[in-house]
Amino acid sequence: MKTNIVILASIILFFSGCKKTSVDTKKEEVLTDTSSVMQVKPADTIKVKNDKVVIPNFKIVVNLSDAAVKKLQSGKESIIASLFFYGNTADEKTLPPAIKKEIGPNGLKLGDFKIEDKDVHQSNEIEVKNISIPKKLYDFIVDKKIFLNINVFSGRRAFKDNLLDMEFFDSELNEITSKGNVINLNGRLISESE
C-alpha cells in the first residue's frame, strides 16, 4: 500500500512539473520597416588595376598557447606568416615559357609573401594588406579562382629551429573573404605536441 502511494505521489509530482506547450498557428508578421535590420557588407573581392591584381585586405589571427607565448617572449622571438598564392591552368603544355617557369606542385605560382610580427601575444592579429599579384599570371588561371596557402612559424631569430606546431590554411581565397576577411589559426609549442 505504501509503495502504491509513493508511486502515485511520484506520478503527480512528475506531471505537475511538466509545462503545457502549444503551437502558435498565427502567420508571422511581414517586416516592413527595415531600419533595424543590420546591413551585411558584401565580401571584398579581387580587383584588377592595370598590370596587377589587388588582393583584398584580410587578417590572420594567430592564437598561441600559454607555453608558446612564454617561450617566444622570453627569447624575444617573432612569428612569421608565410602566404603562397596559386591557381590552376588549363594546359601547362600550351603556356608561354615565361609563365611555364612559374608552375609548381600546387599549380601556377602567383606570388609569395612573408609577414613578421615581432610583438608576440596570446592572440596576434597579422594584417595582410596592400598585396597584389601580376595580372599576366592571373590571366592564365582557367577558373579565375585564387588559392592561398598560409603557414605560421617562429621567426628563428633567437632559436635555430621553428618552435611552433600550427594549424595551416590551404584553400580558395574566397574562404576568407566570404567570412569577414578573417582567418583564425591556433598553435602551440612543438614540445607540447609530443
Phi, psi of 125 (to 5 degrees): -100, 115
Of 102, 109, 111, the C-alpha closest to 87 is 109
Number of helices and strands (H, E) in the chain? 6, 12
DSSP 10: H
Task: Work out the percent of the chain whose per-residue pLDDT is above 70.
Answer: 77
Bigger pLDDT: 39 or 123?
Answer: 123
Distance of CA 126 to the CA centre of its chain: 12
Rg (CA), the chain: 27
Confidence of residue 27 (pLDDT cuts 50, 70, 90): very low
The domain segmentation of the chain, as residue ranges, is: 47-193
SS3 state at 98: helix
| Residue 193 neighbours by CB under 8 Å, 6+ apart | 165
CATH fold for domain 47-193: Immunoglobulin-like (2.60.40)
pLDDT at 9: 47
- Categorize the per-residue pLDDT at 41 as very low, low, confident or very high, splitting at 50, 70 and 90: very low
Residue pointed to by grid coordinates 579562382: 145
